Amino acid sequence: MTIDIQTLIEQRPHLKDPLELYAKCLRFQSEAAILLPKERATMAPEDAKAYPREIAGDLFRLFISVFDLPAENFAPLGAALANGEIDFMRLPLDETPDLPELPHSKEELAGLFFLLSRPYFIALRETFPLDGNEWKDGRCPLCSAKAAITSVVEGPKRQLHCSFCGTVGPYRFIGCPNCGTVEAEKLNTIMSEDEPGFRITTCEACRTYVKVVEGTALQDLTLDLADMASLPLDIIAQGKGYARLAPNPISLKKMG
| 178-198 pLDDT, tens digit each | 999 999 999 999 998 888 889
Q: Which of 74-78, 151-155, 161-165 has the lowest mean pLDDT?
A: 151-155
Residues 43 and 145 occupy one common structural domain: no
pTM greater than 0.75 = yes
Question: Residue 155: which domain range?
Answer: 136-239
Residue 235 is assigned to a structural domain of this protein: yes
Residues 164 and 114 occupy one common structural domain: no
Q: Which of 104, 127, 150 is the last residue of a domain?
A: 127
Residues 172 and 205 occupy one common structural domain: yes
Backbone angles phi, psi at 38, to 5 degrees: -85, -25
More confident position, 45 or 116: 116
Q: Quick check: 41 pLDDT over 60? A: no
Residue 154 is assigned to a structural domain of this protein: yes
pLDDT for 147: 95
CB atoms within 10 A of CB 178: 23
Residue 1 is assigned to a structural domain of this protein: no
Residue 49 is assigned to a structural domain of this protein: yes
Residue 254 is assigned to a structural domain of this protein: no
DSSP string, 38-66: S-GGGS-HHHHTSS-HHHHHHHHHHHHHH
Residue 7 is assigned to a structural domain of this protein: no
pLDDT for 37: 84
Residues 107 and 143 occupy one common structural domain: no
Q: Quick check: 220 pLDDT over 70? A: yes
Pairing of strands 149-153, 157-161: antiparallel
pLDDT for 3: 72
Q: Quick check: 1 pLDDT over 50? A: no
Q: Which of 77, 105, 127 is the last residue of a domain?
A: 127
Q: What is the tally of structural domains in the chain? A: 2
Residues 49 and 145 occupy one common structural domain: no
Residue 246 is assigned to a structural domain of this protein: no
Residue 162 is assigned to a structural domain of this protein: yes
The residues, ordered by sequence, that sit 6+ positions from 158 with a Cβ below 8 Å of its Cβ are: 150, 151, 152, 170, 171, 172, 173
Q: For residue 122, what pLDDT band results from cuts at 50, 70 and 90?
A: very high
Backbone angles phi, psi at 212, to 5 degrees: -110, 125
CA distance 111 to 108: 5
Q: What is the pLDDT of residues 57-104, one digit of tens each?
A: 999 999 999 999 999 999 999 999 999 999 999 999 999 998 989 988
